[in-house]
Amino acid sequence: MLRTLGIQEHAFIPSFIYELAFNEINILQGSLVLFINIFQSSRNVIKARHLRGENARGALLGLLPLLITWMLITAYLRLNPEILYNHLVPFLIFVGLMNAYSVGQIITAHLAQMPFPYFNILVLPLAFGFYDSLGPILHNKFGMGWPSILETTSYQTSYCLCMVGFALGIYGSFVVDVIVTICDYLDIWCLTIKYPREKEPLAFISKKNT
């Protein structure tokens, strides 16, 4: 990126920084912002729970699902370069839906004063894909492992698309369920006004103003 911007290479600039591409800079920037967000949010939670005389460790356990999920995402892509280099877009759609479902679970649990949702069912197909890809590698390196069901490239691609469909079904049904539940509880409609306010006659309005 620095070379593209016309910045000359100097001895005090490490070569790996000087040769970074724009997309790599964006990834680093996003990672830094995410880390600062998580760190500041954790500090706020610890401070709030200490003020209430509560233990902060239980609240920080809510970060475990996030860490486990992203460890599985990284490991799955590392073991399946075909998905990483040729079918990344559908996989990113799956990851986005999985994160959206997790955020929706957290918001609804907070509003309904329910226990924190540690489990996200969309992690299961990702964990299975990682488990399936890990077996042959363990067998080749350590002589102990298991055969892969999705060994061929076509099966891996099909499984990735199935994960996208599974995520669409789960998250779509979740969104519909939340909307229907709220509308039924508040006796409202989603996109239109169920009980429109009737306009008062002009004569009545003028008499009331006088």
Q: In the predicted model, what is the mean pLDDT of the chain? A: 85
Q: In this predicted model, what pLDDT tens digit does every residue of 22-35 receive, in sequence order?
A: 777 888 888 899 88
Cβ contacts of 167 within 8 Å, gap of 6 or more: 93, 94, 97, 98, 101, 122
Separation between Cα atoms, residue 141 and residue 154, nearest integer Å = 25
Per-domain boundaries in the chain: 1-54, 62-171
Provide the 3-class DSSP secondary structure of residue 122: coil
Separation between Cα atoms, residue 130 and residue 144, nearest integer Å = 16
Task: Name the least confident of 4-13, 88-97, 152-161, 190-199.
Answer: 4-13
Is the separation of the CB atoms in 25 and 1 below 8 Å? yes
Give the highest mean pLDDT range of 12-21, 78-87, 93-102, 142-151: 93-102
Separation between Cα atoms, residue 141 and residue 192, nearest integer Å = 61
The first and second tokens of residue 104, run together, are 């929706």
Average pLDDT over residues 82-108: 93
Using the structure block, give the residue that is written with the tokens 């500041």. Answer: 40
CA distances (Å), origin 172, targets 53, 107, 144, 178: 39, 16, 40, 10
Q: In this predicted model, what pLDDT tens digit does every residue of 34-49 receive, in sequence order?
A: 889 988 988 888 888 8
| Residue 208: band (very low, low, confident or very high) from pLDDT cuts 50, 70, 90 | low
